[in-house]
Amino acid sequence: MKTLRIAFIGGGRMALRQASALLAAGFPQKGFVAVYDRELSVARAFADRFGAEPRVSSRAALQAATHAVVATSAAAHAPEAIEALTMRRGVFVEKPLALTLRAGAALTILADRLNIPLHVGLSERFHPVVQALIADLDGQAIESFHAVRCLPAMRARDCSVGLNLAIHDFDLALEITRSRLTVDAASTRCSRNRFHAQLRGHRGETIAVTAADGVEAASRTLTVNAGEARYEGDLLAGTLHKIIGGQSISIPVADADGLASQAAALLAVWTGQSLVGPATALDAFRGLALLARATRLDATKGALAPGNLPQSRTLG
């Protein structure tokens, strides 16, 4: 088994959560070797809690490590991950992968060319309700997918509600449908705090993704129709029901921590125990590309030139 030395680039709330998840997954705290944050007090607070040594720069932190967790502001994800990759460090970067298609493509291509693992914190894949839904579907094709995620107030406001919240559901739609998705621009509405998108799969699946910031009460639900069954999942309550012929059947949901499950999958890849881990850069890029098409971000204009796109497989 490989000996891992992990550096944290960013020492704030998400870094604290990811460090705690790695410990819950069985990683020894002595493996946290360095931390860098632009605010020295934040780095010192992280160091006091986890024992990692504060460093004066991200490069200095990376020099002490074999792998990196990038948990900075969203705008810094791409440059920090690129630095780690160029130093030949395996990287886990918080979502979103990047704020533009061009930066996301550059990261994806670089990781592929260097053959270095780059994973992205799309942790909803590991939510126990999502895991129970995928297990019960057992590969069955779905007809529709509707995801709703709304918060009274986002704690992180360094990017739009689409990139902060809806990006999770674009990833889940791609993961659950295993379909090529296209965006219905006429039925898509978005602003910094409100987002609604309609998509369609190549087999006729209908997908709706709704996200909002500043609502009265938090909600996080999934509704999926597959054959004669309708699934209703509440990710906040941790419940999943399957409705067939008017009868509701409660599907068991594991009492598990999605972040810890994601961390365990990440460690399995980093230590060579598994080839399958969290969402890859290419997975995250596919979701980012769909979101960019839905929001028609000015920053993405011209970023779809063939030379800028990852070529490993067909993008949705």
- Output the pLDDT for position 184: 87
- Output the pLDDT for position 88: 97
Dihedral sign computed on CA atoms, order 6, 20, 291, 213: negative
Question: Distance between CA 33 and CA 46 in Å, rounded?
Answer: 11
- Output the pLDDT for position 192: 77
- Output the pLDDT for position 222: 98
- Output the pLDDT for position 316: 31
- By CB neighbour count within 10 A (0-12 exposed, 13-18 middle, 19+ buried), where does 73 fall? middle
- Output the pLDDT for position 308: 41
pLDDT tens across the length of the chain (316 residues): 478 999 999 999 999 999 999 999 999 999 999 999 999 999 999 999 999 999 999 999 999 999 999 999 999 999 999 999 999 999 999 999 999 999 999 999 999 999 999 999 999 999 999 999 999 999 999 999 999 999 998 766 678 899 999 999 999 999 999 999 999 877 888 887 899 999 999 999 999 999 999 888 999 999 999 999 999 999 999 999 999 999 999 999 999 999 999 999 999 999 999 988 999 999 999 999 999 988 874 333 433 333 344 444 333 3
Query: Domains of the chain (ranges plus CATH)?
Result: 6-123+260-308 (3.40.50.720), 125-257 (3.30.360.10)
Question: Distance between CA 281 and CA 121 in Å, rounded?
Answer: 10
Question: Distance between CA 197 and CA 195 in Å, rounded?
Answer: 7
Single pTM value for the model:
0.90
CA dist 111 → 86, 87, 155, 277 (Å): 9, 11, 30, 15
Question: Distance between CA 185 and CA 194 in Å, rounded?
Answer: 15
Q: Which two tokens stand for residue 106?
A: 């550059």
